[in-house]
Amino acid sequence: MRLIVAITGASGVIYGKRLLEVLGNKGFEVHLVVSKAAEKVIDQELGKCDWVSLATRVYFPDELTAPIASGSFKVDGMVIVPASMKTLGALASGYCEDLISRAADVQLKEGRRLIVVPRETPLHAIHLENMAKLSKMGVVILPAMPGFYHNPKTINDLVNFIVGKILDQLGVENELYKKWGS
């Protein structure tokens, strides 16, 4: 499976890091883009991270000639985790100022799987309208809202719940969290 993972400047970069770890362990081809704002959040929330080793290929956000900016570069899907409200707004309006928004726009125009994991609270009407607009276009909106029916004991349990839900949406078998009724 070939996937694009984008990490934007919202809090919750731990979700993106964990997704990259799991995809790497499963041997997937992962194309990664980290926004400039995300780099600052990463430093604040996780400290220095070696993102290069977690992906097959890493692109700069201004690298608009990257293969993932074209519909002729076939991928099985894209996940933006976490997704900032700025990124959601850009996608909802079709504004492609960087590689993240361009790659996501390509997913939409090609009818491919696009999952966004917004991490913001509280939400106001424009945030909700942007999410509704994207959902109507076929985007999976998967907010970073972990469930508690699996009796989490650690932060990692909560992170694994969201990453497991992302993998479920990609059709990737996982045992990162205890499924309801299991």
> What pLDDT digit, counting tens, does each position of 88-102 carry?
999 999 999 999 999
Parse the chain into domains and list their residue ranges: 2-170
User: What is the pLDDT, as a whole number, of residue 181?
Assistant: 78
Question: Is residue 151 within 8 Å of 161, Cβ to Cβ?
Answer: no
What's 67's DSSP letter? G
182 vs 177, higher pLDDT: 177
Look up the pTM and report it: 0.97
Q: What is the CATH number of domain 2-170?
A: 3.40.50.1950
Question: Is residue 22 within 8 Å of 15, Cβ to Cβ?
Answer: no
User: What is the pLDDT, as a whole number, of residue 124?
Assistant: 97
Tell whether the model's pLDDT for residue 27 goes beyond 90: yes
Residues 6+ apart with CB under 8 A from 178: 149, 150, 151
- What's the mean pLDDT in 103-128? 97
Rounded Cα distance, 8 and 5, in Å: 10
83 pairs with which residues across the strands?
118
